[in-house]
Structure 1
Amino acid sequence: MVSARIYPSTRALQVVVTIAEHGSTTACAKALNMTQSAVSKQLLALEQLAGLPLFIRTPYGLSTTEAGRIYVTEARAALGAMENAVLRVAALGSSPNAIKLHILPIMGDRWVIPRFAGFAEAHPEIDVELSTFANNELINQADAAFRFGEGDWPGQSNHYLFGQNVALVGAPHFIARLGGVDRPDDIQKFPLLDHKHTPLRWGEFADAHAISDFTPERITHFGFYALVIRAAIAGQGLALVPRGLIADELESGKLANPKGFGFVSRHAYWLTCPLDRPQRPAMRVFLDWLLHEVSLMPAEYR
């Protein structure tokens, strides 16, 4: 028997996940190429269907409620399953000029997509499909995957991109208002921002700078890296971010890196290609382009 229950649309699930990742309907609209009005309508319809609010407004943007966290978790799984099905079927008759990539949302949003137009214009014959909700099975089926870690994935050709150079950052006015950061251990008097799913933790910063008895007053945890960066720009606290992700904000002055403090992490962004099958010519073209783009980055951002 088929249930008569009404389920949310795929677009509505994309909206709720993207709002959670970016912290606002405006950023969601930009990421999904929708109008802000359309995003708001999708969110309203989903909240009416759920019977509960999925987000609340905070000083650093929209944050998920308990119901919202449930929806985001399950929406990511549902979207991943749909992407898995689409890509597996597409692979049955895929073109040699089509490549499938798994990409981390923060990497795509802040680094790959701003540069991708150059590749598309230079190689219009190559179709690139980017997946962001993939499970491990789908990641292993992709032609390549952007990953964050130590570069030790077995069965993969691991290409270092950037990210080991991690900066301590915050909004300039916020840092000045709380007395500045003249020594590494001054961070303990500041609110700290943390992404609970990344290895770039404050303990690693403390160890790198030999800070003993590290007891910060407050650490606010976020589920998405985009919200950590957004909160830092808004003056909500200090954050640890790979310099390559925030080059524009550092150069424009939206974020400051007091005294150049940071550390060299073991973890970074990599592109991995499976070794158990031949690499498509189109994939070799993309890899050459990607590594060239990385080579153009200043050394301090890598």
Structure 2
Amino acid sequence: MELDSGTLTKLRAFEAVGRHLSFAKAAQELYVTPAALSHHVRHLEEELGVPLITRLHRRIELSPSGMRLLPECSQALQILSRAVREVKRTDQQETLTVSVAPYFSAKWLTPRLGRFWAHHPDIDLRLHHAYQPADFLTDNLDAGINWCPGDWPNAESTLVLHGRLTIVCSRAYLKQLPPDPSPHDLLDHRLMFEFSIEHLIRWFEASGVNLPAPPRADQVDDSHTLRRLALDGHGAALFFSGLIHEDLRTGQLVRPFDVEIDPGSAYYLTRPKDRPVGRRLKLFTAWLMSEIATSPYV
């Protein structure tokens, strides 16, 4: 079977229909009619000599052959799409697109960007803010700076900022605790965390507190909001120490206890494992590592 332009069109039609399990939704995605998609899929089935879609009353499902073909087809189309994007990129554009965790961007990266632009005015740095680590298989990105383990899939990782998880609160909230408080006293007060209740359990275990059950606590899955709640005196927060040095230095936040735990993640610079490192990314990486070496914390 020759993969000419007509066959690629049919495969693209099948992939969209199989992914959505709907001719109507696939048609909206590809900006064609459902009838045209049905026509393409039927022709592909005729060329392959096997059914790919089982048409039922008011719904469709993949045949066994369709289930085998769909993941391979999806991956192949993603590879083609990525290759086309790469070809479109030229050094004349000098664009560098980096995915960055929003809190890291606001607290650490953004205040320093003036120095990067001063040294590299020819590079158009575009920041894409995302909570999830960069996915280089599907996203049009050159690099990412995100909170993740060091062994992120399909990526080469360089440590940017590490730290520990520690309990912090405002001075006003500290006054609500008993004089000379113990970690056990926190169980009678509002606790907040960002990533996982397991981190909070581990913190109490490291403090020598025996927990018969997980502590009652509120999850706040945004670093900005968690910090604001702690600053405003709404509770004690388990927070990443690497991005609150200034808050602790000025006394806006305090650490009632010296106990810290390893979160198992940190802020890493990630880049695609299977892609050559271009000039722009090399310059950005060198600048980033220089900033880390001279002033790692905020």
- The alignment's TM-score, normalised by the length of structure 1, stands at 0.62
Counterpart code for 1:95: D
Structure 1 residue runs without a partner (length 5+): 1-84
Corresponding residue to 1:204 among 202, 208, 215: 202
Shift in CA distance, 189/99, structure 1 to aligned 2, threshold 3 Å:
same
**Alignment check: 8 A CA contact 1:187 1:216 kept:** no
**Alignment check: 8 A CA contact 2:96 2:142 kept:** yes
**Alignment check: 8 A CA contact 1:168 1:258 kept:** yes
Corresponding residue to 2:292 among 279, 294, 301: 294
Aligned length: 213
Match of 1:223 in 2: 221
Q: What CA distance in whole angstroms lies between the structure 2 residues aligned with 1:239 and 1:125?
A: 42
Q: Secondary structure at the match of 2:217?
A: strand
Q: Does 1:95 align with 2:91?
A: yes
Q: Does 1:123 align with 2:120?
A: yes
Aligned pairs for 1:221-260 (under 5 A) are 221-260=219-258
Q: Displacement, 1:296? A: 2.6
**Alignment check: 8 A CA contact 2:248 2:254 kept:** yes
Counterpart code for 1:193: M
Q: Relative contact order: is structure 1 or structure 2 higher (C-alpha 8 Å, sep ≥ 6)? A: 1
Among the aligned pairs, what percent are the same residue?
Answer: 24
Aligned pairs for 1:151-190 (under 5 A) are 151-179=150-178, 182-190=181-189
Q: What CA distance in whole angstroms lies between the structure 2 residues aligned with 1:238 and 1:116?
A: 32
**Alignment check: 8 A CA contact 1:148 1:267 kept:** yes
Aligned pairs for 1:15-94 (under 5 A) are 92-94=88-90
**Alignment check: 8 A CA contact 2:199 2:263 kept:** no
Shift in CA distance, 91/227, structure 1 to aligned 2, threshold 3 Å:
farther
Q: Does 1:110 align with 2:107?
A: yes
Shift in CA distance, 90/279, structure 1 to aligned 2, threshold 3 Å:
closer
Q: What CA distance in whole angstroms lies between the structure 2 residues aligned with 1:93 and 1:239?
A: 44
Q: Secondary structure at the match of 1:177?
A: coil
Counterpart code for 1:112: L
**Alignment check: 8 A CA contact 1:191 1:216 kept:** no
Q: Displacement, 1:177? A: 2.4
The structure whose Rg is larger is 2
Q: Provide the alpha-carbon RMSD of the alignment.
A: 2.9
- The alignment's TM-score, normalised by the length of structure 2, stands at 0.63
Counterpart code for 1:92: K
Structure 2 residue runs without a partner (length 5+): 1-80
Q: What CA distance in whole angstroms lies between the structure 2 residues aligned with 1:161 and 1:177?
A: 36
**Alignment check: 8 A CA contact 2:103 2:224 kept:** yes
Q: Secondary structure at the match of 1:124?
A: coil
Q: Displacement, 1:201? A: 2.9
**What per-residue deviation string (whole Å, max 9, x for no partner) do you get for residues 82-121 of structure 1?**
xxx9xx9797244363211011111111111111111111
Q: What CA distance in whole angstroms lies between the structure 2 residues aligned with 1:91 and 1:230?
A: 44
Counterpart code for 1:188: L
Q: What CA distance in whole angstroms lies between the structure 1 residues aligned with 2:182 and 2:218?
A: 22
Counterpart code for 2:91: S
